[in-house]
Each structure stands twice: as C-alpha cells, then as structure tokens.
Amino acid sequence: MTVLAVTGTDTEVGKTVVTAAIAAAALSLGRTVAAVKPAQTGVGADEDGDLAEIRRLAGEVSTHEGVRLPDPLAPDTAARTSGLPLPTLAEQQDLVARVSSQHDVTIVEGSGGLLVRLGEDFTMLDLMAPYDAAWIVVARAGLGTLNHTELTVRALRAAGAGVRGVVVGAWPEHPGQAEQQNLVDLTRVTGVPLLGLLPEGASKLPVREFRRGSLGWLPTL
C-alpha cells in the first residue's frame, strides 16, 4: 500500500493533471489506484470536478470526494459563505484510511497550496499526519517558483513529512532562460529531486496519448 500526497506551491499549478499522470502511470504497471480529493470548491453539485478529470485522463481510478462546495474559495471560507458544513479532521482521515486499505496506490490531492485550510482548523499537513505518505510538490516553471517551492518543501520538512520530490506541472513548449535555469536550481534550493515535467496543455492531449506519456513525463517517480 502506497499513499502519495500531492500539494502545490499555489493554486492552478497543475496538481490535478499531475495526479492524473501519476494514476495513469500506476495503472499501466498493473496497480489498483484511488484518488482522494478532501475538498472540492467552485463546482456545483451536478458538475464534473477534479476527480472526474483524473478519471477521464487516467482511466479506471477509484475516486473519493470528502466535501464539495460551490464557491471558488478556500474550503473553510467556501463553507462559511455557503453555510454548508465541513467534514471533521477525523472524518477526512477515516476516508483516507479506508480508501488506502483497499488499493495499491492512493493519491490524495490537496486544495491550493500546502497550508490552505481544508477544515475549520486543519490543513493538508494535519490530514496526512497519520500516514507514511510520500509528498509530491507541484510547481510552476517560471519566475517565482524557486521561492514558492523552497517555502513549501521547508514547511513539509519542518512537519517531519517525507518529500519525494518536485514535479513541474506545465512545462512550456519553448522555455525561456528562467525556465531552463529553474530546472537546475529547483533541486539545488530544495534539496529534493526533480521528478519530472508535464508538457503544457497535457490535459488537452488525446486520452491515449496522455496515458502513454505519463511514464515518460515522470520517469523517476
């Protein structure tokens, strides 16, 4: 049983497409795979959210959502504005425990950055504390990513979490000097491996091409 925790240096950095690529790669190796989204915001009750996108891209992934909130805000804020209740920390941890006990690989995808509140008084760090999870940090390619990524890795290490490495969530077709240099400097400033690069627009590729590409994009995962 493997538990992976996917967090980002910020919102909209590519966490969902990276989660889908990890799931696709694991499925191609014959493993059973689950994806857990503790809190989905900005999506209505009958709309497809991140988990539907993961399943579309990766294939037969077992998907599990802790709570869904309509406003596109941090989960605790979205719950207050909508007047909807949030699961407790214990309830969210029970969900991860139950799902992970039934699958070879369970991927837990956070909301926004590492310290976004998933409940009234807990973050992704608190949620994953009981598990020997390997953390994957999804980062941007361009300027600003060194600071954001190092801060995220430092926070994880301060909490005693095991960081598997960094994935660039959207690598441009024509990278500039900053992007190219960041490939060298991300490992230097964080002290963790660069696990791979997903091409910009990967989620728009034909599904078969996405699934075939997953292992190549994440060769050291």
Q: Measuring CA to CA, which residue among 107, 123, 104, 106 is closest to residue 115?
A: 123
Query: Could you tell me the residue range of the domain that residue 96 belongs to?
Result: 2-217
| Number of domains comprising the chain | 1
Whole-model pTM?
0.96
CA–CA distance, 148 with 201 (Å, rounded to integer): 22
Q: What is the pLDDT of residue 46?
A: 84
CATH code for the domain in which residue 172 is found: 3.40.50.300
Instruction: Work out the percent of the chain whose per-residue pLDDT is above 70.
Output: 100
CA–CA distance, 94 with 88 (Å, rounded to integer): 10
* DSSP 8-class letter at 72: S
Q: Measuring CA to CA, which residue among 208, 114, 183 is closest to residue 152?
A: 114
Assign 166 a pLDDT band (cuts: 50, 70, 90). Answer: very high
Contact 124, 152 (CB under 8 A): no
Q: What is the pLDDT of residue 120?
A: 84
- The arithmetic mean of pLDDT across residues 134-143, rounded, is 97
> Can you state the angle between helices 15-28 and 207-217, rounded to 10 degrees?
90
Options 13, 26, 37, 66, the catalytic residue: 37
Assign 44 a pLDDT band (cuts: 50, 70, 90). Answer: confident
Q: Is 15 considered catalytic here?
A: no
